[in-house]
């Protein structure tokens, strides 16, 4: 497993101290970069090249929390650890609301950073979130399949939620939304939104054929928050309306959509 980290602090010695405080390689980190200003830190952070970002809360009169806000706006889901000399509740509350991974108070001992890294890598491992390794393409393929399997599993488990989106899935896996969207399309031959629609409509067809639920009830059950939108997507995928499908599909007069075998 190989992770990357970015340390942002306007005091170079503080950055260096954090970098040398622990054995990063022992925790699976092969790349540790440092930036000593708000602008350079922000530029590096929004590149989406880092799994974990450790950022001081005060950077030359700028707030490190603004970097987190920029990451969220860009759809970048790197884990963020805020480092602060301020114990004020308002700072910690805002950081937590922004979804930071952990809030560390200066000065912190080696054990605190060790614990933070252990918790982070443990959580990452649960999602098999290792970046591809160009040096070992044969290992890359196996990792990629496993990771996408977990993404598909997450989609299936949450498809009934009308608020499910690419950004939410990416956030759950600490990934950049644009990157995940590209990977999803490349590896599965279908865009994320199209796959989510297909998955929901396949479930809707099953309910139309094997239950007495009304159409609007089925629409809500499979994750469509708007009945008119459900009808448009349903007709686009099946070629017919829901009532016509219910009447003709049992006699083979309408083709029932199915998921490809690799997605079931």
Residue 263 has pLDDT above 90, yes or no: no
Element (H, E) at 124: helix 110-126
* Cα 169 to Cα 149: distance, rounded to the nearest angstrom: 13
Q: What is the pLDDT of residues 68-88, one digit of tens each?
A: 888 877 767 678 888 887 665
Closest CA to 223 of 237, 233, 209, 236: 233
Q: What's the pLDDT score for residue 206?
A: 94
The neighbouring-strand residues paired with 3 are: 29
pLDDT at res. 228:
96
* Per-chain mean pLDDT for the chain: 84
**Does the pLDDT of residue 116 top 80, yes or no?**
yes
Q: What is the mean pLDDT of residues 94-109?
A: 78
> What would the DSSP string read from start to end of 141-206?
HHHHHHHHHHHHHHHHHHTT-TT--HHHHHHHTT--HHHHHHHHHHHHSS-HHHHHHHHHHHHHHH
Token pair belonging to 250: 């049992």
Mind listing the pLDDT tens digit for each residue in 25-51?
Answer: 999 999 999 999 888 988 888 887 888
Position 90 scores a pLDDT of 63
Note if the bond before 181 is cis, omega within 30 degrees: no
């Amino acid at each position: 497993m190989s992770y990357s980290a970015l340390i942002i602090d306007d005091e170079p010695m503080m950055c260096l101290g954090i970098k040398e405080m622990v054995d990063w390689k022992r925790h699976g980190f092969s790349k540790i970069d440092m930036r000593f200003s708000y602008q350079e830190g922000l530029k590096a952070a929004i590149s989406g090249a880092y799994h974990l970002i450790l950022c001081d809360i005060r950077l030359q009169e700028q707030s490190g929390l603004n970097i987190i806000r920029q990451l969220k706006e860009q759809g970048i889901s790197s884990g963020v650890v805020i480092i602060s000399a301020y114990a004020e509740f308002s700072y910690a509350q805002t950081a937590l609301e922004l979804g930071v991974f952990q809030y560390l108070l200066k000065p912190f001992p080696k054990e605190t950073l060790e614990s933070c890294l252990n918790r982070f890598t443990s959580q990452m491992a649960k999602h098999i979130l290792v970046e591809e390794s160009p040096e070992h393409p044969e290992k890359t393929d196996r990792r990629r399949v496993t990771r996408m399997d977990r993404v598909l599993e997450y989609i299936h488990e949450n498809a009934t939620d009308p608020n499910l989106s690419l950004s939410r899935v990416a956030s759950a896996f600490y990934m950049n939304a644009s990157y995940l969207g590209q990977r999803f399309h490349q590896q599965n031959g279908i865009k994320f939104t199209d796959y989510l629609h297909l998955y929901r409509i396949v479930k809707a067809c099953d309910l139309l054929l094997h239950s007495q639920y009304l159409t609007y009830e089925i629409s809500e059950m499979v994750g469509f928050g708007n009945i008119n939108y459900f009808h448009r997507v349903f007709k686009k995928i099946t070629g017919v309306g829901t009532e016509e499908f219910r009447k003709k599909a049992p006699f083979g007069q309408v083709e029932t959509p199915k998921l490809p075998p690799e997605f079931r």
